[in-house]
Amino acid sequence: MLDLVFWAPVMIGGLLAGGSCGLLSVYIVGMRIPFLGVCVAHAALAGAVFGALAGLEGQMLLLPALGGAVVTATLLGLADPRKINMDANVVMGLLFSVTMGLAFVGFGLFSVLGKSDNDVRSLLWGSLNYCQWNDVTLMLIAFGLLVIFVLVFRKEMRAIMFSRLDAQAVGIHATAVWTVFLILAAMLITVNFQTVGGLMIYSLITNPAAAAFQLTKGNTRTMVLATILGAASGLGGFLLSAITDLPSGAVIVLVSSLVVMVAAVWARLQKR
Amino acid sequence: MNSNAIQLEKLTVRAGRKTILAIDNLSIDRGELVGLLGPNGAGKTTLLRCLLGLQKHARGRVQVLGKDIKTLGARGLGLLRRRIGYVPQLLPSHSEMPLTVREVVAIGRTGIAGLFHPLRKRDWEIVDEWIERLGLSSLAAHGYTQISGGQQRKTLIARAMVQQPEVLILDEPTANLDMGWRERIVEIISEFYQLGNLTILLVCHELEVLPSCCNRIAIIDSGELVADGSPGDVLSEEMIRSLYGLGFDLLAGNGRYVVVPSEVAHA
């Protein structure tokens, strides 16, 4: 007999995490900034670590995690690569190393202070224990916000993805729209990383788009397909994880990577 | 109404402590087609970016369509840029996104439609109209990255034209194109000039890119304006040699110009 109390939030959580990260992945891969996932996830992790050190626990850890992620995303958005003469990926690398350093200094402080770091350590890998109805609600809100953003700013994001400089040249407020997007992405990654895992979310914000780009073209079709592939990877990964008792993040990575491989083979066969 | 589309006065642009552009005076009338020439690193692209407000200038005044760039805020700058069509020198390659040719052309209508407003039916009609005028109809649903360099360049020209611009800035629009494509682009520029109400600033290295209707040339070298006038007055063998070195000859015919190695000219 299926234990719906456990399985229902897991399945819906998997769908939402996969779908929202899949939609996000179109922009992440489109802009060639897959590093954003690890960068923001580590910023969130650093926030959570210092929140835990300050005595916060459970859902309350989300607040400092969100703070760390949003500050990092804002810095990334305002750093115009052309003005600072540095590629976005280099800026991300810099912020990633700083936030990772902070997070691991924080982990070191747990032992110095004689505290347990179990709560935050599990954030690195993701756990289905976190996937309860209140988590699903947060995932749903984050997904809803992303969908609203996409509907409102789709044409601006399409231009920014093509070229941020060109978008500015045609009179689009590229920096403002891009910064809002990054903040939203940071929120979404933070909300999802406790179930998918801080390290594993990287694959979920790149693989669905990588697969969709192989199979179709055009902005709308790609976004719809990436969302579906992401949702399928998320749901499939969560279910497999629940059945096998393996870490959810690792299983999602393998499932979404398999989707990319199948898409690549399919695209190659279609070209013959 | 000010008859100048573009006016530069005592313009100075710096990169760190180095002055990379210093132009005392340059004005371009509305409806004029001006060729902007100069060797690599002369400051041509920097000048274009100043006109678009993408590059800050240290001193002087840059006025485009009656607006002083330095006094404009983000909103004012955005509004001005929507009146300027810009075809960049480098074909954008920052995206993995498989956008179609039609979607890329539609980017030109994005700023005009404004934030929070989707592209309307009329916007898409304008997009399709320019796709057709530039002979891209059969490629409209193709991926932008799947078409040739010449077709990509045409797509970017269509993107600039759907803005229904008052000023069109073309930064080396024939770079990396073969001779056939180059001539097609030159024809398109000539057609735009015939429209009569469009100010065109055409940046190029090769004189053969200048259409016969181009009746004014400005030359920049080492960040300074070294010549400005009709092609007949400005283009001389001395000028070409001072810009590009010895060993080149200038050939002219039917209002078109070409620079060839001396050994070819004297063969």
Neighbours of A101 (CB within 10 A): 12
Q: What is the DSSP letter of A244?
A: H
Q: For chain B, positions 76-115, list CB contacts with chain A under 8 A.
A: 77-82, 84, 86, 88, 92, 94-100, 103-104, 106-108, 110-113, 115
Q: Chain A within 8 Å of B120 (Cβ-Cβ)?
A: no
Which member of B78, B98, B115 has the closest CB to residue A213? B98
In chain B, residues with a C-beta closer than 8 Å to the C-beta of A149 are none
- Sheet containing B4-15: which strands, arranged edge to edge? B67-68, B59-64, B4-15, B18-29, B224-229, B216-221, B33-37, B199-204, B167-171, B84-87
pLDDT of residue B216: 93
Specify the pTM.
0.83
Cβ contact A187:A69 at 8 Å: yes
Identify residue A14 by its one-letter amino acid code. G
pLDDT of residue B219: 93
As given in the structure block, the two tokens for residue B1 are 């109404």
pLDDT of residue B92: 67
Cβ contact A40:A72 at 8 Å: yes
Mean pLDDT over A234-255 rounds to 83
pLDDT of residue A24: 92
Burial of B178 (0-12, 13-18, 19+ CB in 10 A): exposed
Integer CA distances (angstroms), A221 to A108, A213, B48, B70, in order: 46, 10, 36, 41
Torsion angle of the four alpha carbons A192, A34, A168, A165, in this order, in degrees rounded to the nearest 10: 170
CA distance B51 to chain A (A): 10
Which residue of B96, B142, B171, B201 is the best one to mutate when testing the A interface, meaning the one whose CB has the most A CBs within 10 A?
B96
Residue A225 pLDDT level (bands cut at 50, 70, 90): very high
Residue with tokens 């179709």: A216
Q: Report angle CA A36, A37, A43 to the nearest 5 degrees.
A: 85
Q: Which residues of B213-239 are buried (b: 16+ CB within 10 A; e: fewer)?
A: ebbbbbbbbebebbbbeebeebbeeeb
pLDDT of residue A228: 95
In this prediction the ipTM stands at 0.83
Chain A residue at shortest CA distance from B100: A218
Strands B84-87 and B4-15, bridge-based pairing = unpaired
Q: Please, what is the end-to-end C-alpha distance for chain A in angstroms?
A: 47
| A20: CATH | 1.10.3470.10
Please judge whether A170 and B82 are an interchain contact, meaning their C-beta atoms are less than 8 angstroms apart: yes
**Whole domain around residue A252: which residue ranges?**
4-271
Chain B residue at shortest CA distance from A89: B94
Cβ contact B152:B174 at 8 Å: no
Please judge whether A158 and B103 are an interchain contact, meaning their C-beta atoms are less than 8 angstroms apart: yes
In chain B, residues with a C-beta closer than 8 Å to the C-beta of A217 are 98-100, 143
- SS3 at position A195: helix
Nearest one of A174, A169, A196, A189 to A10, comparing CA atoms? A196
Please judge whether B107 and A219 are an interchain contact, meaning their C-beta atoms are less than 8 angstroms apart: no
Q: What is the DSSP letter of B140?
A: T
How many CB pairs below 8 A link A and B?
111
How crowded is the C-beta side of B80, counted as CA atoms within 13 Å? Answer: 23
Mean model confidence pLDDT for chain A: 86
Chain A residue at shortest CA distance from B165: A170
Which member of B111, B118, B159 has the closest CB to residue A171? B111
Which member of A32, A171, A173 has the closest CB to residue B96? A32
Integer CA distances (angstroms), B3 to B25, B32, B82, B192, B199, in order: 16, 10, 19, 19, 11
Residues belonging to chain A with any Cβ–Cβ distance to chain B shorter than 8 Å: 26, 29-32, 82, 152-156, 158-159, 161-173, 176-177, 209, 213, 216-219, 222
Please judge whether B97 and A161 are an interchain contact, meaning their C-beta atoms are less than 8 angstroms apart: yes
Q: What is the DSSP letter of B2?
A: -
CA distance A88 to B170: 27
Cβ contact A178:A160 at 8 Å: yes
Cβ contact B25:B59 at 8 Å: no
pLDDT of residue B93: 59
CA distance A122 to chain B (A): 33
Please judge whether A172 and B159 are an interchain contact, meaning their C-beta atoms are less than 8 angstroms apart: no
pLDDT of residue A145: 95
- SS3 at position B225: strand
- SS3 at position A246: coil
What are φ and ψ of residue B61, in 5° steps?
-125, 130
Q: pLDDT (tens digit, 0 to 9) for every residue of chain B, 267 residues total?
A: 567 899 999 999 998 888 999 999 999 999 999 999 988 888 998 999 999 998 888 899 999 999 999 999 888 999 999 999 999 887 765 567 788 999 999 999 998 998 888 899 999 999 999 999 888 999 999 989 889 888 898 899 999 999 999 999 999 888 877 888 888 889 989 988 887 789 999 998 888 888 888 989 999 999 999 999 998 888 888 888 887 777 788 888 888 888 888 777 666
Torsion angle of the four alpha carbons B51, B52, B53, B55, in this order, in degrees rounded to the nearest 10: -80
Helices (H) then strands (E): counts for chain B: 9, 12
Q: How many domains does chain A have?
A: 1
Q: Chain A within 8 Å of B119 (Cβ-Cβ)?
A: yes
The strand ranges marked E within B159-247 are: 167-171, 199-204, 216-221, 224-229
What are φ and ψ of residue A49, in 5° steps?
-60, -50
Q: Which of A52-66, A109-123, A168-182 has the highest mean pLDDT?
A: A168-182
Cβ contact B26:B225 at 8 Å: yes
Neighbours of A127 (CB within 10 A): 17
What are φ and ψ of residue B93, in 5° steps?
-135, 25
Residue A199 pLDDT level (bands cut at 50, 70, 90): low
Q: Chain A within 8 Å of B232 (Cβ-Cβ)?
A: no
Which residue of B93, B94, B117, B127 is the best one to mutate when testing the A interface, meaning the one whose CB has the most A CBs within 10 A?
B94
CA distance B72 to B76: 5
- SS3 at position A169: helix
